[in-house]
Amino acid sequence: MQFIDEGYIIKCRKHGEKSLIITVLCKNYGKVCGYVKNAMTKKNMAVFQPGNLVKIDAWSRVDDNMLLLKVDLIKPCAVNFITSADKLKALSCFCTLSDICLPELQPLDRFYYWVESFVNLILEENWVTHYCFFEYGLLEFLGVGLDLSECAATGTTENLEFVSPKTGKAVCYEAGLPYKDRLFKYPHFIVEQNFAPAPSEMADLLKLTEFFLNKNFFAIHNLKFPECRDNLAEIVEKL
């Protein structure tokens, strides 16, 4: 196997004294994990940082073997995170969820757009919004996305205000009002592609995505939901 691709570093693990095993979210090949020989030099320290955009030249003699990687820096995106504790927390969540949830060597297709948006727009005022779209997109990519098109109870497409935790389907205001304390808020800004939502809308969306990621992926695979994800609620509260 041999290929060339580009993507964002999401994990670096030391291997021996000078080498690394890194994981990269790539444009065409999805999550790629590989071995970089003699990566731990002073010159390369700034290259192998989570969030950086890199070009990889990957190869292996046998398909089942770990890939060997040659890595070149394209854009040092990591520097845009290090000046903010909140952005570093969000980056940690982004990297951890991507590493755990995404399969290796499977194209990310449309989902890669939300990966790029989160990293590249981190200096924008509404950077948390792009993280929200990333998590919602992750649900869809995993095949456990929500059905927000019509009310599960009445079939109407109007006045959709809630989401059922049991079915992941939308519920209209009239049908859901008696049970509103047990339902999630409908993510209007996601459906309408509104990139300037209120902080309360983002907080509600993150509660929804956490619940369904946990229920439909982590619990099914007997995995523990990442503790770093708890920090995001605090970030939204400060907005």
What was the pLDDT predicted at 16? 87
User: Based on the domain organization, do 51 and 115 belong to the same domain?
Assistant: no
In the DSSP assignment, the letter for residue 217 is I
Domain endpoint, select from 79, 110, 139: 79
* 163 is a domain residue: no
pLDDT of residue 94: 97
Query: What strands, in cross-sheet order, belong to the sheet with 184-185?
Result: 170-172, 160-163, 184-185
93 and 69 co-located in one domain: no
Same domain, 35 and 139: no
Residues 91 and 71 in one domain: no
119 lies in some domain: yes
Whether residue 101 is found in the same domain as residue 213 = yes
According to the model, what pLDDT value does residue 8 have?
98
Give the per-residue pLDDT at 106: 95
The residues, any chain, with a CB within 8 Å of residue 7's CB and separated by 6 or more, are: 24, 25, 26, 27, 32, 53, 54, 56
Same domain, 33 and 115: no
Domain carrying residue 230: 81-148+187-237
Successive 10-residue mean pLDDT values, the chain, 239 residues: 96 92 96 94 90 96 85 97 94 97 95 97 96 97 93 96 97 97 97 96 95 96 92 80
The reported pLDDT for the residue numbered 144 is 86
127-141 helix and 199-213 helix, angle to the nearest 10 degrees: 30
Domain boundary among 79, 102, 132: 79
DSSP character at residue 186: P
Specify whether 56 is located in the same domain as 98. no
Residue 234, pLDDT score: 79
pTM: 0.94
**In a shared domain, residues 136 and 191:** yes
Q: What is the predicted pLDDT for the residue at 42?
A: 83
